[in-house]
Amino acid sequence: MEGNAILNTILFDLDGTLLPLNMDIFIKIFLEQISKTFSYFMNPKEFIDNIYKALNDMVENTEYRINEEIFMESCKKYINEKDIKELKKD
């Protein structure tokens, strides 16, 4: 495979399994950046606070349900209905 090597796999190590990762710094930067995407309808600090609330609901859940279901249900709870309708228009 000299010269014209083809890349057919990309590995993402988001939990520090393969390479050292400071999760606190990663989460802080990640949430700050993603909150910018939603800043047109929600204050970035409020967005981050709501994500943490939804994550907390997911972690504290004792029902036999998928984490994604709990998380998304909680996100809807913390974002008011008007904001969700505005998102659907876009």
pLDDT in tens, 20-74: 888 889 889 999 998 998 888 788 999 899 999 999 999 999 989 999 999 989 9
Quick check: is 8 in a domain? no
Quick check: is 12 in a domain? no
- CA dihedral over 82, 84, 59, 13, signed as positive or negative: negative
Q: Which domain holds residue 79?
A: 39-89
Residue 70: its pLDDT value, please?
92
Residue 85 has pLDDT above 60, yes or no: no
Cα 11 to Cα 28: distance, rounded to the nearest angstrom? 22
Residue 54: its pLDDT value, please?
92
Residue 27: its pLDDT value, please?
87
Residue 69: its pLDDT value, please?
92
Quick check: is 71 in a domain? yes
CB atoms under 10 Å from CB of 54, counted, come to 20
Task: Decide: residue 51, CB within 10 A, 0-12 exposed, 13-18 middle, 19+ buried.
Answer: buried
- Residue 47 and residue 35 in contact, taking contact as beta carbons nearer than 8 Å: yes
Quick check: is 67 in a domain? yes
